[in-house]
Structure 1
Amino acid sequence: MSAEGGTKAIIAALSANLGIAVTKFGAYLLTSSSSMLAESIHSVADSGNQLLLLIGGKRAKRAATPEHPFGYGRERYIYAFIVSIVLFSLGGLFALYEAYHKWQDPHGITEYKWVPIAVLVVAIGLEGYSFRTAIKESNQTRGTTSWVDYVRRAKAPELPVVLLEDFGALIGLVLALFGVGLTLITDDGRWDAAGTAAIGLLLVGIAGILAVETKSLLLGEGANPETVRKIEQAILNGGGVDRIIHMKTLHLGPEELLVAVKIAVPKSESAADVAQHIDETEVRIREAVPIARVIYIEPDIDRAGKEQAAPPAAV
């Protein structure tokens, strides 16, 4: 569901940004507004980012190979990290450069004064539609989690990335409208430069958030506490398991979870019984958590004092 919803949100954002980019470039050519140029580059960067997310999602579906035995699920994290770099360099830094250039040579908007206002208003409507789609798809997996925690803890990167991009695009359009509007009112191009600088700072900030969150996913995140509890209950709800000695989980991708657990079995169990209980435990884990694709279970005799404190369940 998260992959399907993420793809739908990406396509909606891509469609909106391609149309917006063309109209913004047209407005810039007519008015020479630096805010319009910054917004044009922003829309181009966003369009490229959405293409990167689609490519990453497709490449992540490749089957495992001897060289990559756990598959390519993390490709989605890699492409999301590239998105943050593109947003920082192509979007944020270019806007800051253009703001500096416009501040040094401020000039008002003397022709086609209505064009940038009309374009920005239409762009706000299109971005609003894209943002609404991203919110709708995110709500299917977000549950009662706050939006901040959802962006921080989501294992599928596409929806949080699109949410942040669309949110940043809407704020950027308002800033551009502010800069262009005051430039038209005062005939002072420095307002246009100020709006452009604000857009640049906004994009750099969003890129930083994306970089931090996707870096954490690339390093390897364990299952969330709720999923860990489900796995623990699934293990202990069957026979042949006295207790969990320790357990570790790792996301191989948004919909692929590795579970490694060491369990204590009764001393009286035969090897055949232990093997049967392990098979039954694997079935229960997969029923409770379908994304648990790779499971390793190590049995041990529950000897008092052999292993005391267990490491954290989710790493």
Structure 2
Amino acid sequence: MSRWLFSSRSLRVVSVVVFERGICFHCLRGNVLPISCNRGLRSNWIQSNCFHSQILALQKTEEKKTRLSLANEGTASGLSSKNGMERNFITPVRAMNDFFLKPSDLELLRKTRRRSPYESEPPITVYWLKDVEAKALEVWGSQEALDRERKKKTEELKRYQQCKKKTEWPILVIECILIYLLDIFSVKRVLKDMRKEPTNWSPQGGLMEGSGKVVLTAILINGSNFLFKLVAWLYTGSHSMFSECLHSLADTANQLILAYGIHKSSQQSNPDHPYGYSNMRYVASLVSGVGIFCVGAGLSVYHGITGIFNPDPIGSFYWAFFILGGSLVSESATLLMAINSLRKGATNADMPFWEYVKRGQDPSVNVVLLEDLAAVVGVVVAGSCMAVASHLDSPLPDAVGSLLIGVVLGAVASFIIYSNSAALVGRSIPLSSIHQINSELERDLMIRAVHDVKGIDMGSGLVRYKAEVDFDGRELTRSYLDKQDLEMMLEEVRKMKNINEMEAFLLKHGENIVDLLGAEIDRIENALRKKHPEVRHCDLELL
């Protein structure tokens, strides 16, 4: 009597147990191994279990040999194809820049169309990396020649970067410009096969709009106030007027720094700064706060202390009062401009006014607001102290006024430094905004859950949102199948005769499902940006 105990198609192992006259034979790949067996039920049961153990051991041995064989084949294949990169794609621009090929060299190579990495864009043309590598070796003759050309281009790039910093040698500058223009022309030849990252985002305006107009107006007014106060201080010798003169000078200098920050923050991103310069507003505001604290508050307090311990006789404050009155009107005008600009920003951000100011959502206008508020308070303090000093004919109230102005400037500077440093460290967006974005994502049919959410304020009203997303694979597959002819797919499956045909079928549809997954992520990100335009960078990572 014979019985099949094990059969494996992949290992092509067939084990047969033959019991004949008390002898047990094990047949494996044509080899017959005799195994003695005693008669009797118990001995047969023991022998059968021992025989099963031998079969399992042989099965494991065969599987291990097969895995080692496949691993060796994979290693050899990987070494011959540069670690398995032969299936990788490469864009025309990269092929030209990395392998120094011409457009005519790429014409005869295999190419295909792949989904664009940018939303709402047509597919891009790509080549197989192994074909481009082979073409580069054909063009350049050898790997050594290609490496020499790469080394040459690297040296030229270093020289170009140096000439951007040092323009002392005209010949070097002209050479660098020519290299740069040649690179531009080579890239423009294949612009139809690729596109740059879209830069159609708008920060909080440049110098001629929004915050920039407020800052430029403040520069003109504070610069004029500084000149008038300087004349008044030289005429009267008042300590309070000196503090106000320093205050206007500090405000003018700081607002020039703010103007530079606004101009820099409106620049588009580049390879050196892929997320742009939006944080420059916070940097400029932080420097401005430090300047107010050191120059404005420090010198005002110092001058006030000097006036207390070394008082000077006071003069006439007649013209000083007129200048302070004009300064009060002009400072109040810029203060109202700043308030209106911030109120508009708070309305757009759906935040209370003071919360908007406290968070420093628009740091440049925030600084103008606080500086002008301190200026109005300072003018009132200076005028009051000067009036008391003139009435009592004593320099002491005037020196105390300088101290009070220094304290006001110090408090304003401290708040500016605190709010902007918190923003530069990386501040989260309001929790309500995060919950709103999360709920919108979780309502999508393709998403089961959202985890590890981070929403970072990048400055200039821009937000970076990152989340781990649990995608519903069944819904994704169902969405793919809804677009297919299932009858035709079933017919393809029925016609399959071997594993290779099944593998090709699964690979084709598996790659299509992965492409669909990318398209679904793009769709979700686009919908999120439409509802929340402030979300500049949206990173959805799959669990």
Q: Under a length normalisation based on structure 1, what TM-score does the superposition of the two structures give?
A: 0.90
Q: CA deviation at 1:264?
A: 1.2
Would you say 1:132 and 2:371 are equivalent positions? no
- Separation in structure 1 between the aligned mates of residue 405 and residue 222 of structure 2, nearest angstrom: 16
Would you say 1:197 and 2:440 are equivalent positions? no
Q: CA deviation at 1:146?
A: 4.3
- Separation in structure 1 between the aligned mates of residue 294 and residue 444 of structure 2, nearest angstrom: 53
User: Taking structure 1 as reference, are residues 160 and 33 closer, same or farther at Cα in structure 2, changes over 3 Å only?
Assistant: same
Cross-structure match for 1:118: 322
Cross-structure match for 1:277: 520
Q: Bigger CA drift: 96-105 or 233-242? A: 233-242
Q: CA deviation at 1:2?
A: 4.3
2:416 aligns with one of 202, 210, 213:
210
Cross-structure match for 2:367: 161
Would you say 1:298 and 2:541 are equivalent positions? yes
Q: Bigger CA drift: 241-250 or 129-138? A: 241-250
User: Taking structure 1 as reference, are residues 228 and 284 closer, same or farther at Cα in structure 2, changes over 3 Å only?
Assistant: same
- Separation in structure 2 between the aligned mates of residue 181 and residue 207 of structure 1, nearest angstrom: 27
- Separation in structure 1 between the aligned mates of residue 353 and residue 413 of structure 2, nearest angstrom: 17
2:428 aligns with one of 222, 238, 247:
222
Q: Under a length normalisation based on structure 2, what TM-score does the superposition of the two structures give?
A: 0.53
Question: Retained in 1: the 8 A contact 2:238–2:398?
Answer: yes
- Separation in structure 2 between the aligned mates of residue 283 and residue 226 of structure 1, nearest angstrom: 21
Cross-structure match for 1:66: 271
User: Tell me, which stretches of 5 or more residues in structure 1 are unaligned?
Assistant: 301-315
**Count of residues in Structure 1 that have an aligned counterpart in Structure 2:** 299
Q: CA deviation at 1:145?
A: 4.2
Would you say 1:141 and 2:345 are equivalent positions? yes
Residues 121-158 of structure 1, C-alpha deviation per residue, up to 9 Å, x if partnerless? 11111111111111111111123744432222232211
Cross-structure match for 2:469: 263
Which protein shows a greater Rg?
2
User: Tell me, which stretches of 5 or more residues in structure 2 are unaligned?
Assistant: 1-202, 478-513
Question: Retained in 1: the 8 A contact 2:240–2:386?
Answer: yes
2:529 aligns with one of 286, 289, 305:
286
Question: Retained in 2: the 8 A contact 1:172–1:202?
Answer: yes
Identity %, equivalent residues:
24
Q: Bigger CA drift: 226-235 or 179-188? A: 226-235
- Separation in structure 1 between the aligned mates of residue 352 and residue 320 of structure 2, nearest angstrom: 36
Residues 205-263 of structure 1, C-alpha deviation per residue, up to 9 Å, x if partnerless? 11111101000011011222343234224323432111212311122222322111111
Residues 265-287 of structure 1, C-alpha deviation per residue, up to 9 Å, x if partnerless? 11323434432321111011110
Structure 2 counterpart of 1:88, one-letter code: F
Question: Retained in 1: the 8 A contact 2:360–2:419?
Answer: no
- Separation in structure 1 between the aligned mates of residue 425 and residue 351 of structure 2, nearest angstrom: 23
Would you say 1:246 and 2:452 are equivalent positions? yes
- Separation in structure 2 between the aligned mates of residue 207 and residue 148 of structure 1, nearest angstrom: 17
- Separation in structure 1 between the aligned mates of residue 530 and residue 247 of structure 2, nearest angstrom: 44
Larger relative contact order, structure 1 or 2 (CA cutoff 8 Å, min sep 6): 1
Structure 2 counterpart of 1:157, one-letter code: P
- Separation in structure 1 between the aligned mates of residue 252 and residue 443 of structure 2, nearest angstrom: 49
Question: Retained in 2: the 8 A contact 1:21–1:40?
Answer: yes
